[in-house]
Amino acid sequence: MVGTAPFRRYSAGLTPQEHLLSMSTISPATPTTLPLRIVRPGLVGYANALASQRAAADALRAGTGPETLYLLLHPPVVTLGRRAKTDTNLVVPRDELTARGVEVVDSDRGGDVTYHGPGQVVGYPILDLRRRRWGPRDHLHAMEGLLIDVLREGYGIDAFREPEHTGVWTAQGKIAAMGIRVSAGISLHGFALNVATDLAGFGLIVPCGIQGRAVATMEGVLGRTVPVDEVMDRIESAFRGAEETR
């Protein structure tokens, strides 16, 4: 099944010393018997989606709720990660973005500046990394692998990792961005996969703070229409398959 391998335990290129350090702040694994919950609410504003993530994370941490994967779309929004360099990576000033109808939000995720908009599948996996004995880099590596499998096996897109940059890449450019936060062993935020995104939105920023690199979409790579719901179906199947093989 697509995506079963990537959610097994990964070292994500860490040395043994780095892996031990990444594990040093993770409490012992806790059992989770509830199945993964998939929520697909459609078009959701960024603030509402973040509130849902936090509520799901609190319930999971308390042992009163399941792990959850949100698959959704955002209206046009620029999000600023904890390391965002707004002086260089916001091409258009904040007030002008707002005037254009593009929301600008400070986010508690890692990473720099990212654009979300219609035609982009956004995934927020709220997972207990403690029971997997994963650090943040393991989680990022697993999401990369899962999306690479979906793109390669489901669509024949030659997707790959780049050693210097997080995310998923193609010869035409970066096709999926990632940024996460881990709080008390629970992951928030996640990935954004460009299916049919209007690339003009990325011209408002320096995507992920990486100068001189193109951004790609699935439709641009394939030269045909790709239904967003179909892509969500494949991602959902990949996550469920990965959990079944754990």
For the segment 207-211, the average pLDDT, to the nearest whole number, is: 67
Report the C-alpha gap between 173 and 157 in whole angstroms.
12
* pLDDT (tens digit per residue) in 23-42: 333 333 344 557 999 999 99
Catalytic residues: 208
Which among 70, 65, 71 has a CA at the least distance from the CA of 34? 65
Q: Over the stretch 87-96, which tens digit does the pLDDT of each residue have? A: 666 778 888 8
Please tell me the pTM assigned to this model.
0.84
Domains (range + CATH), the chain: 41-244 (3.30.930.10)
Q: Which residue has the higher pLDDT, 99 or 89?
A: 99
How confident is the model over 93-102, as a mean pLDDT?
Answer: 88
Binned at pLDDT 50, 70 and 90, residue 246 comes out as low
Which H/E stretch holds residue 19?
Answer: helix 16-23
CA distance 43 to 151: 23
